[in-house]
A = this chain, B = another copy of it.
């Protein structure tokens, strides 16, 4: 068995059985090792698709996927979505091919400082030093990536460690990681805060926005009258009819400050107090009112459900009955497409148990609240702010959950960063409905230009914001990569296109002409 075979065997033994790959010459032995039928390898035409797909996979599956990247530049192409995954606490194992040790001293063209490129965005970086170390190092990478919450592990694999004899490898035990329990000392204090009856906002994030933790949060609200919210962006929320509803702290600084101003207390679970996404002249970074106290119930990396359990115990409220979101029976909207009719069409069309990946920025920003009474679904948001995350994350989520349809709402500007995702969706026959909100503009920047106090954009600034010369022809774009597509310009056509897309397996694209 050579090093590459040892690597693939170790990965699969450790439960990593998907590889999003964009290989090159230095990874040919890894490619050969992928003949191992326990590993599913998925080809992506750009590395940002690989790493974004690994992020989406982790968010839905809770275990890391692997990526295969070609030397330093291949890793570099994947870094923006590694940044987003890191901010979402998604685990992944990046395998980065490298020249053989003996070749490096000649400074070949593709050589670069791979560790240097990997470190700023990885929690763990290791270079394999010998073929016999591959199994050990690969198991260590999976263990690191599987820590709670997920971590970015990057393993650098020189060619010679890949093709030389690795001996017989001994299977390492599988990684099992559990979150830390929260500090019990905080519980009584926070219980007192909640008993005071003073206005309190509980902000949930991480794994506390789904499953049992979400239900416990609903009990807390029922028992104490606190309000429940998320940050504007959350890695994954279980929402819709039958779930405990969470409010959403607005994105823009003004509305966020107004939303938060009357709370005397903020209690955080797996997150920190709300901050502005960007800094602006004459606007605050911290969004809470000056007199508001912040109490951390559960830190990131700790167990949100355990913290809520302890708190409900302390409040003697374990039997409280959470209020659940009723199904909002909305009709099919007709007429002009605008934020309200788009949201109504979504609420009416989203099928039960679908996954909604949101990178819609301007179009979706104001209206997602209107879909809270839709059929139950998972909502996924961009945690790192680097655009081009949506279509890759949707790709990985669809692979993780082959029985669930994924709707990926994405602005036209964002979609162009990693549009190669469509090809992988077509190749793998993934059930992804990509919804392009085509406003022919980085529309969010128009608002941000004013927010920054730069006034109204002049002609040259608008040239850097509008992307309407030429208009992107989304039907042709989808066709070029084998994805069927339709364009809509009314609310009823948008609704019909979404419901149509559920009827057949495989990907499709809807261009929403705004």
Contact = CB atoms under 8 A, between A and B. Distances in A.
A416 B84 CA distance: 22
A119 to B, nearest CB: 6
A463 interface: yes
B41 A460 contact: yes
Contact of A467 (B45, B385, B472): B45
Contacts of A285: 102-103, 106, 108
A487 to B, nearest CB: 12
Nearest to A428: B469
Nearest to A81: B73
Given A25-B444, A110-B278, 13 more contacts: A25-B278, A28-B454, A31-B461, A34-B460, A43-B463, A45-B417, A77-B77, A77-B79, A79-B79, A106-B275, A416-B420, A423-B467, A423-B470
Contacts of A340: none
B279 A102 contact: yes
A325 B253 CA distance: 67
Contacts of A102: 279, 285
A-B pairs with the 9 shortest C-beta distances? A470-B482, A73-B386, A103-B279, A76-B79, A116-B120, A477-B480, A476-B480, A100-B279, A73-B80
A458 B112 contact: no
Interface stretch (A191-199, A304-312, A445-453): A445-453
Interface in A38-69: 41, 43, 45-46, 48
Interface in A240-279: 272, 275-279
B100 A112 contact: no
B74 A386 contact: yes
Contacts of A481: 470, 472-473, 477
B45 A416 contact: yes
Interface in A282-338: 285-286
A83 interface: yes
A110 B384 contact: yes
Given A25-B448, A45-B417, A416-B420, A464 B117 contact: no
25 contacts: A25-B277, A28-B454, A31-B449, A31-B454, A31-B457, A34-B464, A35-B458, A35-B460, A45-B417, A46-B417, A76-B121, A83-B112, A100-B279, A106-B286, A107-B272, A109-B277, A109-B385, A110-B277, A117-B117, A160-B281, A419-B419, A423-B472, A470-B481, A472-B481, A477-B477
Contacts of A26: 278-279
A24 interface: yes
Contacts of A163: 281, 452-454
Contacts of A168: none
A79 B77 CA distance: 7
A26 B279 CA distance: 8
A457 B73 contact: no
